[in-house]
Amino acid sequence: MSLPTPPRPSEAAVNSVVAALQTRFGDRAVTNMAIREQHGHGEGLPAFGLPDVVVFPEMNEEVAFILKTCNDAGVPVVPFGAGSSLEGQLAALSGGVSLDMSRFDKVLDVSPEAMDCRVQAGVTREALNAYIRETGLFFPVDPGANASIGGMAATRASGTNAVRYGTMRENILGLTVVTPDGRIVRTGSRAKKSSAGLDLTHLYVGSEGTLGVITEIQLRLYGTPDSIVAAVCQFDDLDSAVNTVVMALQSGLKMARIELVDEMQMKASILYSQLDFEAKPSLFLEFHGTAFGTAEDVELMQAIASEFGGSKFDFAEKPEDRNRLWKARHNAYHASIAFMPGKSSMSTDACVPISELANCLLETKADVAQTGMTVMMVGHVGDGNFHLGILYDANDPVETEKAEGLSFRVARRAIAMGGTSTGEHGVGVHKIVHMREEHGEAVDIMQQVKNALDPKGIMNPGKVYPASI
């Protein structure tokens, strides 16, 4: 298995681009080493590549200028949002320009009547939700990190609310995209649905900056529900927790969130946040609706959980109480890191059909046990998606290889069960080894599209597409 190794542009080409960018952008084109290093990676993985320059554009025309300059010179461009991606998407593998979108931080338009908004790509989801709070609307996609909306679009992110509100895929109506040759193009419309030609919006969503740069996003918004009820239920074993979820989904029960936290993650979270739970497999639930509706849903869910030996629910309705109740889930990442200081956490992202979820989780648990490593598990189980947080010493090659081996097997297991190696994190560099296994010849079609829309291959090279055989 060979990873693609994008060729480095000539030093002269890089120098000409850096000079052109410094002339146009002044101190918004930065070659300071600390800034370049900060832009050479995301989170969680050691994947790293130093960009030659970091540019901070503020409008579409500036992005177009940067891309056209780089395209003419054959110099790579790596779009950079909030820096929270997990699969190595941000490493400038062959140098070039890191395009920092953080100054694209304006909410351009909010329409409470149409229940949509248009934001620049650098707006973070927390900033957006703060901005629109008083309209009574909210944007539901919540990947945990305070990612930028542009980055979430580029990786087709989702998170805890997806079981009810969908992922970025379902919540983007249209985009503004800058092409590698510097055209500024709008895709989609504000209509909820359309059959007007190729769905370019969903071609760019999830393309991880390999086809162009997403600069604006038209988003669907939702009314804040009248009633939000959070609940936690604990189980003696993972199997019972998962079977509760599967039965609830098959019965059509509407939940806004169904998160599984395994006993190891619960142990870490209890320690980290001094929580009054047992270190047992737990479901963190949230119900959205009318007061009647959520009461009915909770009752039905409690009945299903009880059949599988689940505990009596802990409830919360007020925002501060819900947050306290959900703390073990919200703090999972930090709790896992604090559990073994000095270790890194490698994240897996398997997603399988709901019918395979119990099998996949249990086989994975057995696999984890065989490794003897310390591994946490949390899951957006309503979507069939779960993450391992594999604690390992990134400076120890043996431990790193063990972590990589486990991560590899989890992805392949998901694919073999009809699922995907990555439910919401994207491919980056880390999941490329699974692309051919997961997609077969469809990978060649992806490469044909890539070649058509980025013929000089400047956009985020070395990511997503495996090297040709």
Q: In which region does residue 76 sit, left (phi positive, over 0), alpha (psi from -120 to 50) or beta (all else)?
A: beta
AA identity, residue 17 = V
d(CA 401, CA 423): 23
Instruction: Draw the binding track, 344-363, toward a second copy (x: CB under 8 A; -: no contact).
Output: -----x-xxxxxx-------
Select from 38-46, 54-62, 63-71, 290-298 the region that touches a second copy (CB under 8 A): 290-298
Q: Which residues pair with 388 in a beta bridge?
A: 377
Instruction: Draw the binding track, 291-310, toward a second copy (x: CB under 8 A; -: no contact).
Output: -xx--x--------------
Q: Report the residue number, 36 or 434, with the smaller CB distance to a second copy.
A: 434
Instruction: Draw the binding track, 363-392, toward a second copy (x: CB under 8 A; -: no contact).
Output: --------------------xxx-------
> Between residue 408 and residue 427, which ones bind a second copy under the rule CB under 8 A?
414-415, 418-427
Select from 74-82, 370-378, 386-394, 429-437 the region that touches a second copy (CB under 8 A): 429-437
Report the Cα–Cα distance between both ends of the chain, in Å, rounded. 9
Interaction between residue 183 and a second copy (CB under 8 A): yes
Count of residues near a second copy by CB under 8 A: 94
Interaction between residue 21 and a second copy (CB under 8 A): no
The closest of 98, 104, 126, 111 to 38, measured between CA atoms, is 98
> Between residue 219 and residue 278, which ones bind a second copy under the rule CB under 8 A?
222-223, 225-226, 246, 249-252
Interaction between residue 449 and a second copy (CB under 8 A): yes
**Shortest Å, Cβ 447 to a second copy:** 9
Task: Give the CB-side neighbour count of residue 138, counting CA atoms within 13 A.
Answer: 12
10 Å CB burial of residue 318 (0-12, 13-18, 19+) is exposed
Reduced to 3 states (helix: H, G, I; strand: E, B; else coil), residue 221 is coil
Among positions 69, 98, 124, 187, the unique one binding a second copy when judged by CB under 8 A: 187
10 Å CB burial of residue 445 (0-12, 13-18, 19+) is exposed
Interaction between residue 207 and a second copy (CB under 8 A): yes
Among positions 53, 123, 157, 219, the unique one binding a second copy when judged by CB under 8 A: 157
Q: Report the residue number, 293 or 309, with the smaller CB distance to a second copy.
A: 293
DSSP structure class, residue 345: E
Select from 4-12, 41-49, 182-190, 278-286 the region that touches a second copy (CB under 8 A): 182-190
Kindly report the number of other CB atoms within 10 A of residue 426's CB atom.
Answer: 25
d(CA 52, CA 4): 20
10 Å CB burial of residue 255 (0-12, 13-18, 19+) is buried
**Shortest Å, Cβ 132 to a second copy:** 14
Select from 55-63, 263-271, 288-296, 304-312 the region that touches a second copy (CB under 8 A): 288-296
Select from 10-18, 45-53, 165-173, 327-335 the region that touches a second copy (CB under 8 A): 165-173
Q: Report the residue number, 217 or 335, with the smaller CB distance to a second copy.
A: 217
Among positions 133, 186, 312, 318, the unique one binding a second copy when judged by CB under 8 A: 186
Interaction between residue 435 and a second copy (CB under 8 A): yes
Tokens for 105, please give them.
Answer: 């931080």
Q: Report the residue number, 30 or 443, with the smaller CB distance to a second copy.
A: 443
Among positions 71, 94, 158, 171, the unique one binding a second copy when judged by CB under 8 A: 158
CA separation, residue 299 to residues 30, 54, 153, 293, 335 (Å): 57, 54, 36, 10, 31
**Shortest Å, Cβ 50 to a second copy:** 26
Among positions 105, 170, 314, 317, the unique one binding a second copy when judged by CB under 8 A: 170
